[in-house]
A and B are shown apart, each in its own frame.
Chain A
Amino acid sequence: MSEALLAEQRAARRVTTATRMRRATPYLLMLPPILLLLGLVVYPMVYNVNLSLHSYRTGAFVGLHNFLRVFDDPLFVGSLRATGLYMLLAVGIEVLLGLALALFIHRSVTSAAVRTIVYILMILPMVTPPVAAGVIARLMYTPNYGVLNHLLRLGGVITRDIEWLSTGPTAMFSVLSVDIWQWTPFVFLVTFAGLQAVPQDVLEAAKSDGAGSWNLFRYIEFPYLRSLLLLVLVFRGTDTLRVFDHVLVLTGGGPGSSTEFLSIYLYRVAFKFFDLSYAAAISLYVLLAASVVFMLLQRLLATEAVM
């Protein structure tokens, strides 16, 4: 083979290596974060699966035993029921209140300054750490010292202190109220931004055709808000599966197990009963629940084409 041909081949090989390098560069750059995510998100789930199939104490393979235990576990069923109730009430009330507030401000408050002030005030509860929200709720609800009982007595609503944190329904109310206080602003911010996107001329046209307030909302504004409301449902729906901080601080899951939501129960099984295998199985159920909620709503969102 001649010198020239060899040199040419070498050059060609250099080019292909260079191209290959160039093609690989983006993936090489992404490798470290992806590995970290695999190691700290995917591996833990694999670990959970493995743990749930074995007995934590003896290490023996027990098949689906831990997954079947939930059916005979009244505490698990109770936590499921509490979580369902919490999800329904918290998300429902937040959506209604937040939407109502957004519509109210959109229609009745025209001053830009007032709107900005409302926007800023709405951020405050949302970004308050849940443990700090727990502090606030303590100051509100504690029977003897809490200010709520005092205010209610002043207003003549009650004559005897209500033990807010000591009975099931009132404890649930207290815990819910924190969530609603913190997250109604989220619904407000999202839907208010959505309302700004409604074209003004369409609204004006409908108004001059004599459409009432309700019809304006139902037929003109609501279609613009629908996908955003679904988005809110995805976020808030999956977030209620993770409530932990303010509940632990406020009621610790009690009284009894009336506010023992899935996450609190899971924590208790793992770190109070040290039944880690069972906790792993429950973790996988919670993961499944979150995935179902996420996928259902994502499918809805996909048809709405926002994400």
Chain B
Amino acid sequence: MRAGRFLAYGLLGLFVVVYLFPFYWMLVTALKSLADLYRYPPTLVPSPPTLQPFISVLVKRGYFSLIWNSVTVSLTAVVAGIVLSLLIAYPLTRMQVSPRFRRGLLAWILSLRFLPPIVAVVPFFAIIRGLGLYDTRTALILLYTVFSLPFSVWMVKGFLSEIPAELEEAAMVDGATRLVAFFRVLLPQLAPAVLAAGVITFALMWSEFMFAFILTATPRAQTFSIGVASLVTQFEIIWNDMAAVGVISAVIPIALLLAARRYVAQALTFGAVREKS
């Protein structure tokens, strides 16, 4: 029994090492100087570690502005997405709506999750150009908002149906209007869940690549993902710079989703899976 457990943990440890080594290697490469980088055989630990690659990409290549674009686009789209999903989820769970409409609407919104975004790229390109929004952050905000709706509607709907309506009803019986009951009674209870939904959709938008790739052309509107891709696909790769942008790109969603980890499985499966921890 003892030996069995030892073996089990050993196997698990080995698996974890193999699984996490790619992350480690990216981080290590990002901390190497150019001289260190071309040492043969490659070293597992940078000596000495340097932040030079990070400074190089953020300052010299001006990637700060791409981060700024990503953050402003994603934040705006998150807020818009949450407001819009409340506009759908609140009436569906708190007001009188025909059950058939309710079921149909939710199913339709869910089905949008399975729509491969690439099929909308050609018309989006034409529509965005037609609106004069090519290479603007507005175009991305619009699309990110729409594509986050299946996620946020389902998450917010799930949370709303878990909060009993009695408290709001009591407030309304006491003379509060629906609006007051919503802001004073419901929203404070809903806030943590809505925040989690926001954090998760923010991470998804930060990671988005395809729409930004097709609908932006200059650092005016390009997001950080585009900056990452351009360092990977250029002819002569500067390895430590590339690793540094990779680290920055990965660290943000990882940090956010670890903070919201209770909700991750639930969000990614539209509520089919609940995590207890």
Q: A193 within 8 Å of B by Cβ?
A: yes
Given the interface pairs A135-B243, A135-B245, A228-B272, the reply to whether A128 lies near B253 with Cβ below 8 Å is yes
Quick one: which of A131, A231, A244, A250 contacts B118, CB cutoff 8 A? A244
Among listed A23-31, A69-77, A208-216, interface-contacting one: A23-31
Q: A5 within 8 Å of B by Cβ?
A: no
Tell me if B114 and A238 are in contact (CB < 8 A).
yes
Quick one: which of A109, A262, A271 contacts B8, CB cutoff 8 A? A109
Tell me if A245 and B209 are in contact (CB < 8 A).
yes
Quick one: which of B42, B209, B239 contacts A130, CB cutoff 8 A? B209
Q: A263 within 8 Å of B by Cβ?
A: yes
Tell me if B149 and A33 are in contact (CB < 8 A).
yes
Q: How far is the CA of A207 from the CA of B191 in the complex (A)?
A: 45
A-B contact count (CB 8 A): 262
| Chain B interface residue bracket vs A | 35 or more
B:99-151 near A, CB below 8 Å: 105, 109-112, 114-127, 142-143, 145-146, 149
Quick one: which of B122, B142, B143, B232 contacts A276, CB cutoff 8 A? B122
Report the minimum CB–CB distance from B40 to chain A (whole Å). 9
Quick one: which of A41, A109, A189 contacts B120, CB cutoff 8 A? A41
Q: B229 within 8 Å of A by Cβ?
A: yes
Q: How far is the CA of A190 from the CA of B271 in the complex (A)?
A: 11
Given the interface pairs A108-B5, A128-B250, the reply to whether A44 lies near B124 with Cβ below 8 Å is yes
Tell me if B123 and A48 are in contact (CB < 8 A).
yes
Tell me if B277 and A248 are in contact (CB < 8 A).
no
Q: B22 within 8 Å of A by Cβ?
A: yes
Q: A157 within 8 Å of B by Cβ?
A: no
- For A125, what are the chain B residues with a Cβ–Cβ distance below 8 Å? 19
- For B270, what are the chain A residues with a Cβ–Cβ distance below 8 Å? 307
Q: Mark B156-190, 1 if CB is under 8 A from A, else 0.
A: 00000000000000000000000000000000000
Q: B87 within 8 Å of A by Cβ?
A: yes
Report the minimum CB–CB distance from B67 to chain A (whole Å). 13
Tell me if A129 and B209 are in contact (CB < 8 A).
yes
Among listed A7-15, A57-65, A85-93, A137-145, interface-contacting one: A137-145
Residue from A190, A245, A262 with most neighbouring chain B CB atoms (10 Å):
A245
Tell me if A290 and B114 are in contact (CB < 8 A).
yes
Q: Mark B234-267, 1 if CB is under 8 A from A, else 0.
A: 0001010011011101100110011001001100
Quick one: which of A241, A279, A307 contacts B122, CB cutoff 8 A? A279
Tell me if A40 and B118 are in contact (CB < 8 A).
no
Output the nearest chain A residue to B266 by Cβ-Cβ distance. A193
Report the minimum CB–CB distance from A261 to chain B (whole Å). 10
A:125-161 near B, CB below 8 Å: 125-132, 134-140, 142, 145, 147, 150, 154
Nearest 7 Cβ contacts at the A-B interface: A135-B246, A26-B91, A129-B207, A44-B123, A108-B8, A242-B116, A47-B123
Jot down 21 A-B pairs with beta carbons below 8 A, ordered by A.
A25-B91, A27-B97, A30-B87, A30-B92, A36-B145, A101-B15, A124-B23, A127-B257, A131-B228, A131-B246, A131-B249, A132-B246, A136-B246, A193-B273, A194-B273, A231-B269, A238-B116, A270-B121, A271-B214, A290-B115, A306-B272
